[in-house]
Amino acid sequence: MHVFNAVKYIECQLLMKESVLPSAIIHSKFLMWIALIIIMLLGISYVGFKANKQHAASASSQDLTAAASVSSPPMVTPADRILSTLPQLNVLVPVLYSTQMILPQISVQDGSALWQPNQQQLTIVQGTVLAGVDLSELTRANLNLSAPASLQLPLAEMISVHLDDVSTYDIKTGQKSAVQLGTSMTESQLEEVRQQMKHNACMSGILQNSSESTRKEVEVLLKSMNIDMTVNVTNPLPCEGT
């Protein structure tokens, strides 16, 4: 009898386990799907968060770059500073040469000779010649930015020739002659006088003096601009007629 009761008890326990097991399995599967769905939602949220963060970082970087490009002025090189300053000065150090020369015998426009019979006359021309280095001719070709940096000045030139006075004097009396050459000289004669004045000024070294004076002034200017650069002069051309 006891054995029969024990067998019945075991059968009841087995039946109870068989009825509970499917319910536990179903519940476990349901929880697993819920967990998977939660994980997927978290993954999608994380990916979206990273994408938004990268987009915001990229936009911020672009904004910073744009702001920097707007607020930061363009870089100005020493060459830019030189070429924007020195050429505006044109002829920085003009050199003036005053000359007084005696003219040879020249006929006046009507063909009559300057020299009158039994009268000795002397014609004296006073004039000025202006020379200088025109800094407006400076270009990048004049600059050497490789160490040691240097600047080559343009060629010094005669800028102007002006006849201040042409007077004819009587050698015996020292008075001005009745015939004044200055009022009767032709344009070709005046041009010949100007060329002679330019030649005299050239022979005096006016071009070399102008180049050297300009070199010294440009060196001072560059130092005031905090630019360390050697200034070289261009040797003047030989004087015409020498």
- What size, in residues, is the chain? 242
Per-residue model confidence (pLDDT) at position 231: 95
Q: pLDDT above 90 covers what percent of the chain?
A: 30
pLDDT value for 26: 56
Per-residue pLDDT tens over the stretch 1-17: 444 454 455 455 544 55
Name the residue with higher pLDDT: 21 or 78. Answer: 78
85: number of Cβ within 10 Å: 15
Rounded-to-5 percentages of helix, strand, coil across the chain: 50, 20, 30
Closest CA to 180 of 122, 104, 238, 94: 122
What was the pLDDT predicted at 176? Answer: 72
Residue with the two structure tokens 């440009």:
218
Classified as helix, coil or strand, 26 is helix
Q: Report the alpha-carbon distance of residue 10 to residue 55 in Å, rounded.
A: 67
Q: Rounded distance, CA 18 to CA 202, Å?
A: 128
User: 37 pLDDT band (50/70/90 cuts)?
Assistant: confident
Q: Return the pLDDT at 72.
A: 56
For 48, the enclosing helix (H) or strand (E) is helix 2-71
Among 77-81, 117-121, 170-174, 200-204, the least confident range:
117-121
CA–CA dist 85, 185 (Å, integer): 44
- Tell me the pLDDT tens digit for each residue of 43-82: 666 666 666 666 655 655 565 555 545 555 667 788 889 9
Q: Between residues 168 and 87, which one has the greater pLDDT?
A: 87
User: Considering the entire predicted model, what is its pTM?
Assistant: 0.60
Domain definitions of the chain by residue range: 1-72, 78-232
Backbone angle region of 130, left / alpha / beta, with phi > 0 → left and psi within -120 to 50 → alpha: beta
Kindly report the backbone phi and psi dihedral angles of residue 95, in degrees, each rounded to the nearest multiple of 5, phi listed first: -115, 130
